[in-house]
Chains A and B, each alone.
Chain A
Amino acid sequence: MSAVEVIRRGPNPLRLLGRLALGALRQVGAVALFAARGLAAVFSPPWFPAQLGRQLLSIGYFSLPVVGLTAAFTGAALALNIYTGGGRLNAEQAMPQIVALGITRELGPVLAALMLAGRVSAAIAAELGAMRATEQIDAMRTLSTDPFRYLVAPRLIAGVLVVPLLAAVADTIGVAGGWLVATRVLDFNPTVYIRNTTSFLQAWDIGSGLVKAAVFGFIVALMGCYHGYNARGGARGVGRATTHAVVSASVLVFAADYLLTSLFAHT
């Protein structure tokens, strides 16, 4: 066999690249179609308020401890790091403002979304995946009930409503964590710290974080629903769906964070 033939018959890198690109495009298209179907179900009746209530509890209330703890520790660590960095520029006194800005614009919504990507996206994917494997989703369709309206729409709505609330909680607890470290470890005056924080923060600093959180909530719920709903291959497929949901939700949260931050950068 000639060298040319070996190259021709061997793995063609261009073909491989093309196949990968097509696969990625197919996946993006499938997610986009799923999201469009989910949104159509959100905005058209019938709605299932009991399901929505259940999801609000499951996604929101039960995520409070993990989001609160993460925000508290992150706020405290951020205060210490900014104090250390600020010391090099003789700008230690700017620490309360930077902590508040960092938490409200960035860390509050991102941390809340990442915690939910791990906790909620995985749970949604596992639940819907198990329902797929045991034919419960098929059964629902034969019972004249659209699974997109009964299963997907309530989770998407709950994600969009609840993550901003969790981000607000994370903002408050994160700033409080910074305050605690600043006043107990770094000898900041408690009243001055709070005054500096509140006088510096603008409404849009908090608002932009909450808008981001709503988008992240949609992403987290969407990835859980998409991977769970399309799970194939029994228990192994459910496990795979769960992993894919967490990984894709986390990556998309970071990507959306960059896009939204660019959009809000000068506001």
Chain B
Amino acid sequence: MSATAKLAWRGVSKRFDGPPVLDGLDLEAMAGRSLVIIGGSGQGKSVTLKLALGLMRPDAGSIQLDGEDIERLPDRARRRLFSRFGVLFQGGALFDSLTVWENVAFRLLNADGVRRKAARDQAVEALGRVRLDPSVADLFPGELSGGMQKRVGLARAVVAAPEILFFDEPTTGLDPITAAAINALIVEQVKRLGCTAVSITHDLASARTIGDEIVLLHAGRAVWRGSPIELDSTKDPRVRQFVDGLPNGPLTGP
């Protein structure tokens, strides 16, 4: 197990209208480990992810990848960083106008200059890894169920063997059986690639399955960090309120 931080948020603050969403967030995702960020709605989970993905810029603080501040990189270099990332979006974010294989091979075709035949072969192979039959390759996303769309999104995220995988609420909207299947696929793919993973979720079952470390985000800060086992054994009242789903407690005030 490596002890170096692959990705780090250092004193990151972000505000829209109203109080800050992130307020000096300090957080690290260790190389080769799976970090899961949990927390209530509006506590800054999505913003934390979007900042790491370069889809937003912080008001203060820095996001560091392998110790390098990505905010200081010129735009072109920042764009190149994306080739090291794979992302599974909450709703899949598949392109409606493209077939399943074109979705999976989107980066290969449009950024890496891979020829269509080779890209299609790689896409079909990636679909197989997420237990999808090659026959779905020529369907459009609208013809797939929610669970299948998530699998296609996962295939798209892993097809180019990224260094860091991001999962945005990977099991939201899925039934428990499909959610368990997606969790198992995530664990399998992260292990196969040996990459770092950062996930945000409300789903504690998912967090326990896919996470090596879990962080509770509250009021724009990381207020607790531990393993999935510690999540259930800790006496920290904030974690207890979140895990036990209590309406009153330190997270919601008196």
Chain A positions within 8 Å of B, measured between CB atoms, are 46, 48, 130-131, 134-136, 138-146, 150
Contact B89 A135 (CB under 8 A): yes
Please list 11 pairs of residues, one from A and one from B, whose beta carbons are closer than 8 Å in the complex, sorted by A's number: A130-B96, A134-B93, A139-B87, A139-B95, A141-B54, A142-B87, A143-B82, A144-B80, A144-B82, A145-B106, A145-B110
Contact B106 A142 (CB under 8 A): no
Contact B82 A142 (CB under 8 A): yes
Given contacts A138-B53, A143-B82, A143-B107, could you give 8 more A-B pairs where the C-beta distance is less than 8 Å? A48-B110, A135-B93, A138-B93, A139-B87, A139-B95, A140-B106, A145-B106, A145-B107
Contacting residues, chain B, for A48 (C-beta < 8 A): 110
Contact A134 B91 (CB under 8 A): yes
Q: A144-B79, A146-B79 are in contact. Are A139 and B93 (CB under 8 A)?
A: yes
Please report the total number of B residues contacting A with Cβ < 8 Å: 23
B85 in the interface (beta carbon within 8 A): yes
From A46, A135, A144, contact of B91 by CB (8 A): A135
| Per-residue contact bits, chain B 108-119, to A (CB 8 Å; 1 contact, 0 not) | 001110000000
List residues of B (73-99) whose CB comes within 8 Å of A's CBs. 79-80, 82-83, 85, 87, 89-91, 93-96
Contact A136 B82 (CB under 8 A): no
Contacting residues, chain A, for B55 (C-beta < 8 A): 138, 141-142
Contact B106 A143 (CB under 8 A): yes
Q: How far apart are the CA atoms of A8 and B188 in the complex, in Å?
A: 67
Chain B positions within 8 Å of A, measured between CB atoms, are 50, 53-55, 79-80, 82-83, 85, 87, 89-91, 93-96, 106-107, 110-112, 156
**Across the two chains, which residue of chain A brings its CB closest to B153?**
A139
From A46, A136, A142, contact of B95 by CB (8 A): A136
Q: A141-B82, A143-B82 are in contact. Are A136 and B107 (CB under 8 A)?
A: no
The distance from the CB of A52 to the nearest CB of chain B, in whole angstroms, is: 14
Contacting residues, chain B, for A146 (C-beta < 8 A): 79
Q: How far apart are the CA atoms of A134 and B168 in the complex, in Å?
A: 13
Q: How far apart are the CA atoms of A138 and B156 in the complex, in Å?
A: 14
The distance from the CB of A154 to the nearest CB of chain B, in whole angstroms, is: 12
The distance from the CB of A145 to the nearest CB of chain B, in whole angstroms, is: 5
Contacting residues, chain B, for A140 (C-beta < 8 A): 95, 106
Contacting residues, chain B, for A46 (C-beta < 8 A): 110
Q: A134-B93, A135-B93, A136-B95 are in contact. Are A142 and B85 (CB under 8 A)?
A: yes
Q: How far apart are the CA atoms of A141 and B85 in the complex, in Å?
A: 11
The distance from the CB of B120 to the nearest CB of chain A, in whole angstroms, is: 15
**Across the two chains, which residue of chain B brings its CB closest to A145?**
B110
The distance from the CB of A26 to the nearest CB of chain B, in whole angstroms, is: 16
Q: How far apart are the CA atoms of A150 and B110 in the complex, in Å?
A: 9
Contacting residues, chain A, for B95 (C-beta < 8 A): 131, 136, 139-140
The distance from the CB of B198 to the nearest CB of chain A, in whole angstroms, is: 13
Contacting residues, chain B, for A131 (C-beta < 8 A): 95
Q: How far apart are the CA atoms of A42 and B163 in the complex, in Å?
A: 32
Q: A138-B55, A139-B87 are in contact. Are A144 and B93 (CB under 8 A)?
A: no
The distance from the CB of B159 to the nearest CB of chain A, in whole angstroms, is: 10
Contact B89 A138 (CB under 8 A): yes
Q: How far apart are the CA atoms of A144 and B53 in the complex, in Å?
A: 11
